[in-house]
Amino acid sequence: MRCTPEAIAAVLHELDTRQLRRRREFADDGCIDFCSNDYLGLARHPELSQAMADAALRDGVGARASHLVNGHCREHEALEQELAEFTGRERALVFSTGYMANLGVLAALADRDDLVLEDRLNHASLIDAALLARTRHFKRYLHGDAAAAARALSEHALIAHEGSSALLVTDGVFSMDGDLAPLPQLAAAAQRHGAWLIVDDAHGIGVLGERGAGCCEFFGLDARQIPVLIGTFGKALGSFGAFVAGDAPLIELLIQRARTYIYTTALPPAVAAATRKALQLVQREPWRRKKLLELIAQFREGATRRGLPLTDSPTAIQPLILGSATSALAASAALRALGYRVTAIRPPTVPQGSARLRVTLSATHEPPQVEALLVALEASLQASREASA
């Protein structure tokens, strides 16, 4: 694109014409929120707020420097140790965001002749990470197709240079579809071909598994089968930031080579303190996960009974695929008028022709609210169909 005001205006006009321009809206509009990632309802928990306030009074607001200069604090160290124990890994490393964790991991681990193999519906940060890693061998396999991933690993093994390796990269829970990656099959394929399996479990940590330890616990996979585990704090844990967990040499390598860790100011220690409290609540209050599962079952039963366009998602992410951006925007606006916030998700976030309403459930919701949402969804989709006719 040419860097002129006219060129920028033309791009924005095209986005408007295709109804793809994104707009920010205030979250405190009085609507009942059914689109956040606060799955366990911890983002406004008073114990997290108190932990953050106490740490801010003690340690200040900012970390003041990068981890390797002067920014690594005792709260960071304690959080990393607790995350390692929680995930069953030797060590963990805290990053400022999940995006930075993904960029840092792939850039640190992938060399030019290595294969980076990703699910086609991976999060944008994983796709960008592969591009920035500058490997000559970046491939994507059909969504959730473990057999296709295994074939690609096998084909690469036939042409690979001595000393090169393969990185098999996937989301654990796919953020726009809510379905789970076939991790047991992917782990088996990775082990068979000597590849690293890297799992971004942003939407599984805190929610899945008996203790809330995520996809690995849900599928019964250990650190040997999934050697690189990435998670975030801004979803079920209700705070901000991210981590990578693995064996001690892996974490030490990231400290030395992950540029998104080395060259940025450390996460505020008060945020680390709040995250530590969230981690305690995840383990202390399993009722939150139990209630969430009950709400998911209620929503799916009600949606099926009403003939709503439900997908095969067992998680708190329940997308209703409507097809066109026009339909998704109309349905979202109709829901807003009824007092419900459900954002319309459009390309390029999702593939062309799969614009949707992304309903997300939280332990803060109550069964009557879910039932009322289902009634509103039925009415809103009818209004959307009429608007598109």
What residues are annotated to the active site?
Answer: 175, 203, 235
Its sign, for the CA torsion 328, 330, 335, 341, is positive
β-strands 196-200, 355-360 pairing: unpaired
| Cβ atoms within 10 Å, residue 255 | 15
CB 361 within 8 A of CB 319: no
Q: Alpha-carbon distance 316 to 293, whole Å?
A: 8
Which pair of structure tokens corresponds to residue 345? 């998700």
Which pair of structure tokens corresponds to residue 382? 């009818």
Cα separations (Å) of 284 from 75, 83, 243, 278?
Answer: 20, 15, 21, 10
Which pair of structure tokens corresponds to residue 331? 């349905």
Which pair of structure tokens corresponds to residue 329? 């925007």
β-strands 355-360, 344-345 pairing: antiparallel
Q: Which residues contact 75 (CB under 8 A, 6 or more apart)?
A: 55, 59, 269, 270, 272, 273, 276
CB 332 within 8 A of CB 35: no
Q: Alpha-carbon distance 47 to 253, whole Å?
A: 35
